């Protein structure tokens, strides 16, 4: 099942709704990389609230997606990691760094806005 990607202003929002297969991950990565270019997006928000497991494969995939998007000029924020998922991840020493995380969509939007503003201020 492919992951729906919504456009919201300058950002893209991908909501993962069920466990990702290998091909699903690659598809998502390509989709996002392509749309970032086409829609001139500056940020990607990936919502993983529906995942009840984030294993090393998913973690690595998310990192890959973020790095790819970064090269295309967009910043990636992961949102909606559940408490027990977070506990399991740190117990298995899975790290999402250098990815950024936020509690929910609203937070992620604020985070992206903030970083663009500070970047803009620096340019001025």
- Residue 10's contacts (CB-CB under 8 Å, 6 or more residues apart) are 40, 41, 42, 43, 116
d(CA 42, CA 11): 6
> Does residue 113 belong to the site contacting another protein (CB under 8 A)?
yes
Annotate each residue in 2-21 with x if it binds another protein (CB under 8 A) or - if it does not, as one string: ------xxxx----------
> In angstroms, what CA-CA distances link 77 with 1, 123, 124?
22, 23, 25
> Does residue 44 belong to the site contacting another protein (CB under 8 A)?
no
Binding segment for another protein (CB under 8 A), chosen from 19-27, 31-39, 63-71, 113-121, is 113-121
**Residues at the site binding another protein, with contacts judged by CB under 8 A:** 8-11, 43, 79, 81-87, 89-91, 95-96, 101-104, 107-110, 112-114, 116-117
């Amino acid at each position: 099942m492919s992951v729906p990607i919504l456009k919201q202003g300058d950002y893209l929002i991908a909501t993962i709704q069920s466990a990702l297969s290998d091909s699903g991950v690659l598809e998502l990565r390509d989709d996002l990389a392509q749309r970032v270019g086409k829609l001139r997006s500056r940020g990607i928000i990936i919502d993983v609230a529906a995942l009840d497991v984030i294993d090393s494969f998913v973690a690595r995939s998310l990192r890959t997606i973020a790095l790819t998007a970064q090269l295309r000029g967009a910043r990636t924020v992961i949102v909606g990691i559940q408490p027990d998922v977070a506990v399991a991840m740190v117990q298995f020493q899975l790290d999402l760094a250098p990815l950024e995380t936020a509690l929910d969509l609203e937070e992620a939007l604020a985070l992206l806005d903030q970083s663009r503003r500070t970047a803009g201020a620096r340019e001025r």
